[in-house]
Structure 1
Amino acid sequence: LQTKLKISKPTKIQKLAIPRILKPDQKNVFIHSKTGSGKTLTYLLPIYQTILQNCQTTGRKAGCTAIIITPTRELSTQLQNIINNSLNIGPSVQAVVLIGGEKKQSEKKRLRKGFNILIGTPGRLLDHFKTTASVKEYIQQGSLKYLVLDEGDRLMELGFQKDLKEIFKIVKDEMCHGDDKAIKKVLCSATTGKDGKLGEFINLKDYQMITANNNDDDDNALDTATSNIAEGLEQDCVIVPPKLRLVTLASVINNTTLEHFESVDQDGNVILRTMVFLSCSDSVDFHYNIFSSCSGNKYINRIDETISETKMGSTVFPSLIDESCRDMPYVFYKLHGSLTQNLRTKTLAHFGSNKKVIGKASSKVKKHLVMFCTDVASRGLDLPHITKVIEYDPPFTLEDHIHRVGRTARLTNQTDNVKGEATIFLLPGEEEGYLTLLNQLHKDKIVTKTYESILKKAFSSKDIKRNDYDSNSERKGKGSKSKESSWDSNVTTWHMNVERAILEKEDLKRAATNGFISHIRAYTTHIAKEKKFFNVKFIHLGHLCKAFGLREKPKQLSYSDYKRGNKLKNMTNKNKMFEMARMAMKDAASEFQY
């Protein structure tokens, strides 16, 4: 642990939970702790201890000691990498991952070679339990001791109760011959689910909840307190009119570069990482495309379908024409559930990689990596050195907010004395009331910033040129631009450049229209108790379309794109709203593609 993972002492939740999990008479445990507090090692280390103690012969053929169930493919893959690579601290312990998007025949080949730990999403695990003989072969050796449910609140939200009950039944009846008393069930989550009944939903009976209470100095204290936000997190909020959302987002990203461009790591590199959370995949596609293409294709290097890097000459951010940090390019990423599994894996690997992957090994690296993503990237992923989390679209629940901001100020960052930063965007009016709920989580520590101060910091130093000027700085058919512009004039020019780019390129216009429509549909799906803050009736759609670079609201909400035909033409406005909500919920479920 000290040499490979650089861990010299356990975290508080590890001190509390690991001895409890290892106790022979302890059956079921609910590990409840904030994001980034070390929950993964809390259950992995007891599994390793059990493997080393109970197995006279180690290796693949020793049998399966643990089954770990996760809600997303990315989390499953991350766990496999931790076990097979980072945590390979003793005799060979092999994990096999079973997830959708992979060929079943390839998974069956890996299963036949043997495994010590089985990881997967509920649907694919259940499929193999029913159809693959080698799974039962290695589990029926009597070696199974642990059944772990990671990110249990997300398993609940996605409606996996039926699959989990069926998995429990197969494990008990077919793999343990009707007696599963020797198996310890471990549930991990940063929240306690709806009404605090996550344990009951998962069908976890007679469990003990173990919580690290930050307000108690007694390391042996056990508590069932509600979730806490990471102590190293600096959370702020900006109230932005809908017309200025896009340019303010660009300003927050730009200002992150200005504030941290001298943050050199131990290798002498400056690698900043920002995650921008959006409500739907179409909105992710639009924002990725517009920031990649706004300055023109000659100023962008497209590394992959989901990865693009700015070249010298790009003006998508004011920092790129600032003398102090103009040599610090941006790399843009997009991640959502509609991408293929291969693309999702490659994108995450590139975003979390070191200088040998994203730069030249012979020189120091200075880059700002910006990922536009949906909530598919908010759960359990332990990405290195996340400098900033931006909630551009508000979370659908407070639990989502906890997991989003939990991508920064994590354990690895705190050991390096790096604090995490998070910014949430809200609209003026009813949405401002949401701050009351957020402040209860953050203990009234949220700092409210004005959008004017953010825009002024980003656009005061340099003059933004219009993109309808030619190489001699003369506008087509007009005279030249001579005088230096003020910051508010620069803001207007930047946004007009975006609008002109969208008008000139049909693919960008289509992406903007789809992003706007999907955003409105997703907005209707906020939970009932938060509708007083997030009600589509309170939004000026004509103003909001400017946030997608559109000069006017699309005439129809593109029902035809979803093959609804004439079905909705005669619907009342109320029924159309219900239909929009159903469509958005369907899209949200497909984000995870089980």
Structure 2
Amino acid sequence: MADDGMLLNFELPSDAFASTKSFRGGGWKDRHTAKKSFQYGRKKAQERAVGSMPRFDEVRSEDEGLILPNPRPAKRPRIEDAEGLQSTYRPSAGINRSGQATTIHGSSKTPKDGVISSLFSFNPQSAPSYPKPAMEAEEIVQPSNAPLEDELANFTSLGLSPTLAAHLLRKLGIKAPTAIQRKAIEQLCAAHADAFIQAETGSGKTLAYLLPIVERLMQLSKQMKTAGTGLNRESGLFAIVLSPTRELSKQISAVLESLLACCHWIVSGTVIGDHIDNTEVLDVSKVRWLVLDEGDRLMELGFEKDIQKIVGVLNLRRKKVVDSSLADLPERRCTVLCSATLKGNVEQLKHTTLKDAASIAVDEDMSTADASSENKAAAFSAPAQLKQSYVLVPSKQRLVTLVATLRQAFKRKGSVAKCVVFISCADSVDFHFDLLTQQSLTAGEGAAAEPKDDATPTQQSIPKHSNKIAQGNSISETRTHGLATAISSDQNQVQLFRLHGSLQQSTRTSTLMAFTKCTDPSVIVCTDVASRGLDLPNIDLVIEYDPPFSKDDHLHRVGRTARAGRDGRAMIFLAPGCEEGYVDILKDCGPRNITRHGADEMLKKGFSPSIGVVGDKDWQEAATTWQLDIERWALAHPKHLEQARRAFQSHVRAYATHVAAERSIFDMGQLHFGHLAKAFALRDKPGSIRVPGQRPGQNEGRKSNDARKASAGRAAAGSTKRGRADDDFEDQTPTDKEAGRRRTQAKLKSMGGASEFNLG
């Protein structure tokens, strides 16, 4: 008791006023060891003293009733729910691993549906970001795939007839060629020789090889008319274009039909499958042009033997034309190989199908014959005008961060017209589509619960089957379109589409057409089936929600935007830790700069209230409330829960299929399965997530030929390509990853094996 009557209630250590113990004599190591031993003993004594205090949230003084905080919080009781699962009731406040106070939001009642964890606690920390250098005046970057502005770079000067050049200008609105079109058209119109075309995505490779073929056929038709005959359907087949996917084939056919509008006597068609042996009326003896589009993708999907067979059949069935009207038809066949990259398998295809080929590329170094393959592959990059960024997102915050990013992108009407979200597997696409279009899901501040009449796309832009919904409020195999209630607002209604290779071909075609013609702001969630060659108009933003399986896949994904000289943005989601190493790969792709974002930054923009002062608690509570809502939504119906589990299971399997060179970045041993499960609205223990069998309705949807070829190609590639989950560490030598490898294999095996990834 002090003289003024105040109570001093504090306690000092018993040795607080003792002199610091000094250590004399002996060597340096002896003194250092003695000092460490003394410090360790003192630390243990303090811990024992604290441990002897009462285990209450507060300590009450018996003398005057003062309350002191207890350094040890009360132990959390374990409670069994109705299903026998042990759940942990967490207090409303705690301390995370970094020592910062966190708040766990949600119901104050004891949870009865598994463990509820906070979005903002126990998340891995990212590498420290260094201060950015002082920004100078931003340099104006010229688009690398835009049409040329040189007055001399017109189509007539390259060898095209005035009729075809005028058609390009008046009917198609194409005023000037791109750089790769200028080189390819000039080369292919001047000489009938094999060629290898390599250029970045969005540079117009399709017109680069179609225009010379159409021009040569128009000249042939003109000569036949002079001889008294004409080119018609009975004249035969003169050109074949092979592409890896049906979507790309239909797109090439659409471009070709638009070109042939000025010469209606030349007819185009589209066939799917191998007709060389099965279609007797298919006469290939007059084929003089063979184009292999997306050659790298053709090899990846396992079409090497099919291509060799087709080339062999064309060589065997080719004969000298005796028809005098076709005397000007070239005697030999011209083969054109198009590829965005020049890897080892493309080199092999090049040597197999081409003879004395001319290399056509924008970069002079890439067109030289003595350039190494490594330098050629490194020269391919993203368009110069593309703005790339990455966001570091902990696994448990992935879903809410995606929603926040899309909300921010479509916050204002007219800000973003269309967006593509790439996801690794078909099951995950279905899950996210169903979740983001749920009418019963709380969409947050300002979101629309029901679609408005003026926000519905025109009937012409919606597939007839797009609004068929199965019972139980679960996704239907035919429903590929809906209002994105989770990201829409009163000011901006957003339409959502889905696309993957396991859908029926008619569904895939109508979905792409609907997305292309939709005049409202729209998002399409899709697998890599939409990453190659497709020219989707007005794509302003590409989000790689799941990292690509290889660097080449990344370049093709981001190539859906910033096409033909237009601006575009691309963002990729990466987890803090080893995945941050992927930033170096992004820099190798050649953008002018890469912007870094944090998950908190995106969540604050997407979940903050539209008016008023914004505090950390506001957007954290909004994000947590939304997360808890979708977890309850997943638990509300067995179909929802199965869908979420199936998506999680397929995602983990797909994660193990990255190329060998990048497996140290996407390390399965460092993947936190528990946190990742939360991103799929799951409260289950990862080891208990087992969904055997195929996805419901998968047998109904006819599996496409390219998906079957993909499975066969990956199985044949083994560990040298994407391989299986059992081989995902075969090319890694550090022995310290052996334990993580075995644990990963055990978890994958417990989830039903890894033979089916559903990547299509």
Q: Give the TM-score normalised by the residue count of structure 1.
A: 0.77
Cα distance change on mapping 1:214 and 1:552 into 2, 3 Å: farther
Do the aligned residues in 2 keep the contact of 1:288 with 1:372 (CA within 8 Å)?
A: yes
Task: Quote how far apart the aligned CAs of 1:193 are.
Answer: 2.6
- Partners of 1:423 and 1:372 lie apart in 2 by 14
Residue of structure 1 equivalent to 2:701: none
Cα distance change on mapping 1:584 and 1:340 into 2, 3 Å: farther
Do the aligned residues in 2 keep the contact of 1:209 with 1:224 (CA within 8 Å)?
A: no
Cα distance change on mapping 1:78 and 1:507 into 2, 3 Å: same
Residue of structure 1 equivalent to 2:650: 518
User: Are positions 1:279 and 2:411 aligned together?
Assistant: no
Task: Quote how far apart the aligned CAs of 1:577 are.
Answer: 7.3
Unaligned stretches of 5+ residues in structure 1:
100-123, 264-270, 321-325, 356-366, 464-482
Task: Quote how far apart the aligned CAs of 1:508 are.
Answer: 1.6
Residue of structure 2 equivalent to 1:253: 406
Residue of structure 2 equivalent to 1:448: 596
Residue of structure 1 equivalent to 2:98: none
Residue of structure 2 equivalent to 1:363: none
Residue of structure 2 equivalent to 1:493: 625
Residue of structure 1 equivalent to 2:638: 506
Task: Quote how far apart the aligned CAs of 1:208 are.
Answer: 2.2
Task: Quote how far apart the aligned CAs of 1:131 are.
Answer: 1.5
Q: What amino acid maps onto 1:42 in structure 2? A: A
Do the aligned residues in 2 keep the contact of 1:294 with 1:498 (CA within 8 Å)?
A: no
Residue of structure 2 equivalent to 1:192: 342
Task: Quote how far apart the aligned CAs of 1:421 are.
Answer: 0.8
Do the aligned residues in 1 keep the contact of 2:392 with 2:598 (CA within 8 Å)?
A: yes
- Partners of 1:582 and 1:40 lie apart in 2 by 43
Unaligned stretches of 5+ residues in structure 2:
1-167, 225-229, 322-328, 443-448, 457-465, 469-477, 696-725, 727-740
Do the aligned residues in 2 keep the contact of 1:275 with 1:372 (CA within 8 Å)?
A: yes
Q: Identify the range of structure 1 (326-335 vs 439-448) with the bigger mean alpha-carbon deviation.
A: 439-448
1:34-73 equivalences under 5 Å are: 34-55=200-221, 56=224, 57-73=230-246
Q: Identify the range of structure 1 (343-352 vs 552-561) with the bigger mean alpha-carbon deviation.
A: 552-561
1:113-132 equivalences under 5 Å are: 124=273, 127-132=274-279
Do the aligned residues in 2 keep the contact of 1:58 with 1:91 (CA within 8 Å)?
A: no
- Partners of 2:639 and 2:336 lie apart in 1 by 48
- Partners of 1:373 and 1:442 lie apart in 2 by 25
Q: What amino acid maps onto 2:641 in structure 1? A: K
Do the aligned residues in 1 keep the contact of 2:441 with 2:629 (CA within 8 Å)?
A: no
Residue of structure 1 equivalent to 2:282: 135
- Partners of 1:502 and 1:518 lie apart in 2 by 17
Q: Give the TM-score normalised by the residue count of structure 2.
A: 0.61
User: Are positions 1:30 and 2:196 aligned together?
Assistant: yes
Residue of structure 2 equivalent to 1:206: 356
Do the aligned residues in 1 keep the contact of 2:390 with 2:595 (CA within 8 Å)?
A: yes
Give me the CA root mean square deviation: 3.2
1:520-535 equivalences under 5 Å are: 520-535=652-667
Q: What amino acid maps onto 1:184 in structure 2? A: C
Q: What amino acid maps onto 1:27 in structure 2? A: A
Q: 1:406 aligns with which of 559, 570, 583?
A: 559
Cα distance change on mapping 1:17 and 1:86 into 2, 3 Å: closer
Task: Quote how far apart the aligned CAs of 1:213 are.
Answer: 2.2
Residue of structure 1 equivalent to 2:506: 342
Do the aligned residues in 2 keep the contact of 1:434 with 1:533 (CA within 8 Å)?
A: yes
Task: Quote how far apart the aligned CAs of 1:583 are.
Answer: 6.7
Task: Quote how far apart the aligned CAs of 1:561 are.
Answer: 2.6
- Partners of 1:574 and 1:309 lie apart in 2 by 37
Q: What amino acid maps onto 1:346 in structure 2? A: S
- Partners of 1:495 and 1:428 lie apart in 2 by 21
SS at match of 2:517: coil
Do the aligned residues in 1 keep the contact of 2:427 with 2:758 (CA within 8 Å)?
A: no
Task: Quote how far apart the aligned CAs of 1:262 are.
Answer: 3.1
Do the aligned residues in 2 keep the contact of 1:164 with 1:202 (CA within 8 Å)?
A: no
User: Are positions 1:429 and 2:568 aligned together?
Assistant: no
Task: Quote how far apart the aligned CAs of 1:78 are.
Answer: 1.1
Task: Quote how far apart the aligned CAs of 1:512 are.
Answer: 0.7
Residue of structure 1 equivalent to 2:93: none
- Partners of 1:585 and 1:23 lie apart in 2 by 50
User: Are positions 1:262 and 2:407 aligned together?
Assistant: no
1:539-554 equivalences under 5 Å are: 539-554=671-686
SS at match of 2:410: helix
RCO greater where, 1 or 2, for CA within 8 Å and sep 6 or more? 1
- Partners of 1:574 and 1:296 lie apart in 2 by 34
Residue of structure 1 equivalent to 2:450: 299
Q: Percent identity, please.
A: 38
Once the two structures are superposed, residues 364-385 of structure 1 have per-residue CA deviations (whole angstroms, 9 ceiling, x without a partner) of xxx3211110000001111110
Task: Quote how far apart the aligned CAs of 1:294 are.
Answer: 5.9
Cα distance change on mapping 1:82 and 1:444 into 2, 3 Å: closer
Once the two structures are superposed, residues 376-410 of structure 1 have per-residue CA deviations (whole angstroms, 9 ceiling, x without a partner) of 00011111101111100000010100100000111
Once the two structures are superposed, residues 264-305 of structure 1 have per-residue CA deviations (whole angstroms, 9 ceiling, x without a partner) of xxxxxxx71111101110010101010011645973686353
Do the aligned residues in 2 keep the contact of 1:153 with 1:191 (CA within 8 Å)?
A: yes
Q: What amino acid maps onto 2:479 in structure 1? A: T
- Partners of 1:446 and 1:60 lie apart in 2 by 53
Do the aligned residues in 2 keep the contact of 1:288 with 1:334 (CA within 8 Å)?
A: yes
Once the two structures are superposed, residues 137-169 of structure 1 have per-residue CA deviations (whole angstroms, 9 ceiling, x without a partner) of xx32x3x22100011110011111100000001
- Partners of 2:751 and 2:212 lie apart in 1 by 44
Cα distance change on mapping 1:524 and 1:331 into 2, 3 Å: same
Cα distance change on mapping 1:93 and 1:354 into 2, 3 Å: farther
Residue of structure 1 equivalent to 2:266: 93
- Partners of 1:422 and 1:572 lie apart in 2 by 36
- Partners of 1:343 and 1:10 lie apart in 2 by 34
Residue of structure 2 equivalent to 1:474: none
Cα distance change on mapping 1:162 and 1:294 into 2, 3 Å: same
SS at match of 1:352: helix
SS at match of 2:623: helix
SS at match of 2:467: strand
Cα distance change on mapping 1:76 and 1:574 into 2, 3 Å: same
- Partners of 2:575 and 2:753 lie apart in 1 by 24
Task: Quote how far apart the aligned CAs of 1:65 are.
Answer: 1.9
Task: Quote how far apart the aligned CAs of 1:198 are.
Answer: 5.3
Do the aligned residues in 2 keep the contact of 1:524 with 1:581 (CA within 8 Å)?
A: no
SS at match of 1:187: strand
Q: What amino acid maps onto 2:435 in structure 1? A: I
Q: What amino acid maps onto 1:423 in structure 2? A: M
- Partners of 1:285 and 1:81 lie apart in 2 by 28
Task: Quote how far apart the aligned CAs of 1:83 are.
Answer: 1.7
Do the aligned residues in 1 keep the contact of 2:180 with 2:361 (CA within 8 Å)?
A: yes
Task: Quote how far apart the aligned CAs of 1:485 are.
Answer: 6.5
Length, aligned pairs only:
497
Structure in which a larger fraction of residues adopt helix: 1
User: Are positions 1:288 and 2:433 aligned together?
Assistant: yes
Q: 2:315 aligns with which of 169, 172, 176?
A: 172
- Partners of 1:581 and 1:200 lie apart in 2 by 41
SS at match of 1:135: coil
Cα distance change on mapping 1:248 and 1:496 into 2, 3 Å: same
Once the two structures are superposed, residues 157-200 of structure 1 have per-residue CA deviations (whole angstroms, 9 ceiling, x without a partner) of 11111000000011110244799961111011111134762544
Q: 1:333 aligns with which of 497, 502, 506?
A: 497
SS at match of 2:576: coil
Do the aligned residues in 2 keep the contact of 1:279 with 1:522 (CA within 8 Å)?
A: yes
Q: What amino acid maps onto 1:503 in structure 2? A: L
Do the aligned residues in 2 keep the contact of 1:243 with 1:545 (CA within 8 Å)?
A: yes
Task: Quote how far apart the aligned CAs of 1:484 are.
Answer: 12
